[in-house]
Amino acid sequence: MLIRLSAGEGLSLQCQLFEQLRGLILDGTLKCGERLPASRVLSEMLHISRNTVTLAYARLVDEGYVEMRESVGTFVSAQIPDASLLTKVNSRTSARTAGGEERPQLAPHTVRAQTLLNPHRRRLIADFWVGRPDARSFPTKMWIKLIHNRLLSAGAALTEYKDPAGFGELRQAIVDHLRPARGIKATAEQVIIVGGCQDGLNLVGRMLMPPTTTAVLEDPCYQGAAFLFESLGARIHPIAVDAKGMITARLPDQRRCIAYVTPSHQYPLGVTLSLDRRLELIRWAAATDSYILEDDYDSDFRFNGPPIAALKGLDGLDRVIYLGTFSKCLGAGLRLGHALLPRGLVELARATKTLMNNGQPWLEQAVLADFMRSGAYQRHLRKIRQLYLSRRNALIKALERHFGAVEILGGEAGMHVVWRLPDHLPCATELEAIALAAGVGVYAVGSGGAVVLGTGSNNDRHLVLGFSSLTEREIEAGITRLAAALRGEARSLAVAAEAVG
């Protein structure tokens, strides 16, 4: 037996011996029924005390790996305990029944997953990743106080199942917020609490999207929506986005579609869907018995002009399903969002949500309800809206300082802007790679949490820049480093061209 023990390890010699003998048994080096050396023999071989070996053997016996036979010796057990936790499958025989005929096999289903985190974020000087709130702005002190108060009066709330549709007080607080902020008139019964917009998309997908349903998507589009609809077997119908949003003149002449849009701040290009196109989209949905999924992911951050009414606020025909989230204004770790349903879909949504789970965590819902009703939520929004406005301005000024006049899309609202690259700079994917080598994270449309479906043009001339999680100093440092990297790249190309000439 190949056993190596070291007194300098963190584990005791007894534990090391137990683990190594157990490993030899599990990998088949020591086979079932095989005799182990006597404790005296093994202690002499390993130069350790016999008591250490005896205690390791005793633990192996207690856990079922070996068995003692009186006056005979110590043997590997006939039945290893770990083996009972695993189902051994022989790939050659499992596909056939006892009679020899082929047994149907479950084919793995290919699913594309969205990009949730930037894998390079820990080694970057500045990471302009999209949609990440500033962790330093979270209202920690207020949150602790509200949690404490709720726990004191929780009673059985933490031990009993609640309404899967969500905590009633939070649903009412959401309705009270949406009425003045987004122009939406609804009742608390129309609200389903979900774990963020992605969970809301799953809810609607289960409700309304049998295979071959036509999913009408903006192009480019949020990855999480496109990949989800694709996984459900939907037929994707992409429609290009221009300066006024989705080009609604290209809506399909088909019935019972689902149209997914981000009208207030299109993701990722940042443009706003114009009023005439909003009305045209609603009319199309009513005429084709279709529904519109409005993802209002960052509408709380509007910097220029008055708030824009949500698409749901214009919906007199009850064709819009409205999705909102607290991930952008508070934090994704809360896993809280909401779906506001047309009245005709409320019961179906409640039933579907019950099949998905038994509701979001009670404590987080209760604390958020208190936070909203106390007025602290509105104060928090005002505070971070000003903070993000300052950072947006710092980003645009830094770009102008290093690159001259820049064309910015989506600067009126949200947590990111899009820089339409001038012709003399590399394309977005090349620029992303150059920046990454310099320790800066900037993102082409296809790698910034979005997917390009192919109907638009010049998407590789758009660079996505999130600013909400960076300080103004970090923003300046990142853009300075990006500019220096591009100057270095230009010098390298000039030297190479001169050498060739």
For 453, residues 6+ apart whose C-beta sits below 8 A from its C-beta are 217, 219, 220, 221, 226, 236, 238
Domain formed by 138-375, architecture: 3-Layer(aba) Sandwich (3.40)
Give the integer Cα–Cα distance in Å for 319 and 202: 18
User: Where does the pLDDT of residue 103 fall: very low under 50, low under 70, confident under 90, or very high at 90 and above?
Assistant: low
pTM: 0.78
Q: What tens digit of pLDDT does each residue of 7-43 get?
A: 776 788 888 888 889 889 888 888 888 999 999 999 9
Confidence band of 473 (pLDDT split at 50, 70, 90): very high
In degrees rounded to 5, what are phi and psi of residue 416? -150, 160
CA distance 467 to 472: 9
- Residue spans of the domains in the chain: they are 13-85, 121-131+379-500, 138-375
Residue 219, helix vs strand vs coil: strand
Tokens 């189902």 identify what position? 87
Q: What is the pLDDT of residue 89?
A: 41
Backbone angles phi, psi at 183, to 5 degrees: 70, 30
pLDDT of residue 447: 85
| CA-wise closest residue to 359 among 212, 211, 158, 111 | 158
Phi then psi for residue 6, to 5 deg, are -140, 125
- Residue 105 has what pLDDT? 58
Q: Is the pLDDT of residue 85 over 50?
A: no
Least confident range of 21-35, 204-218, 336-350, 471-485: 21-35
67-81, 206-220, 318-332, 434-448: least confident range: 67-81
Is the per-residue pLDDT at 108 higher than 80? no
To the nearest 5 percent, what fractions of the chain are helix, strand and coil?
Answer: 45, 15, 40
For residue 335, the model assigns a pLDDT of 94
* DSSP string for 168-214: HHHHHHHHHHHHHHH-----GGGEEEESSHHHHHHHHHHHH--TT-E
Highest mean pLDDT among 66-75, 82-91, 342-351: 342-351
Structural contact between residues 427 and 338, judged by C-beta atoms closer than 8 angstroms: no
Query: What's residue 27's pLDDT?
Result: 84
Percent of the chain with pLDDT over 90: 69
pLDDT of residue 91: 41
Say what the pLDDT of residue 114 is: 76
CATH number corresponding to 121-131+379-500? 3.90.1150.10
| Domain formed by 13-85, architecture | Orthogonal Bundle (1.10)
d(CA 232, CA 357): 19
Which residue's structure tokens are 């301005």?
A: 393
**Mean pLDDT of the region 166-183:** 96
**From the CA atom positions of the chain, what is the Rg in Å?**
30
pLDDT at 120: 52
Tally of residues, the chain: 501
- Residues 277-288 pLDDT 10s: 999 999 999 999
Task: Name the band, by pLDDT with cuts 50, 70 and 90, for residue 360.
Answer: very high
Q: What is the pLDDT of residues 450-464, one digit of tens each?
A: 999 987 667 899 999
In this prediction, residue 316 carries a pLDDT of 92
Q: Are the C-beta atoms of residues 252 and 216 closer than 8 Å to each other?
A: yes
Torsion angle (degrees, nearest 10) of CA 291, 322, 448, 243:
70
| pLDDT tens for each residue of 113-167 | 776 665 555 578 899 999 899 999 999 999 999 999 999 999 898 999 999 999 9
Q: What's the confidence (pLDDT) of residue 95?
A: 47
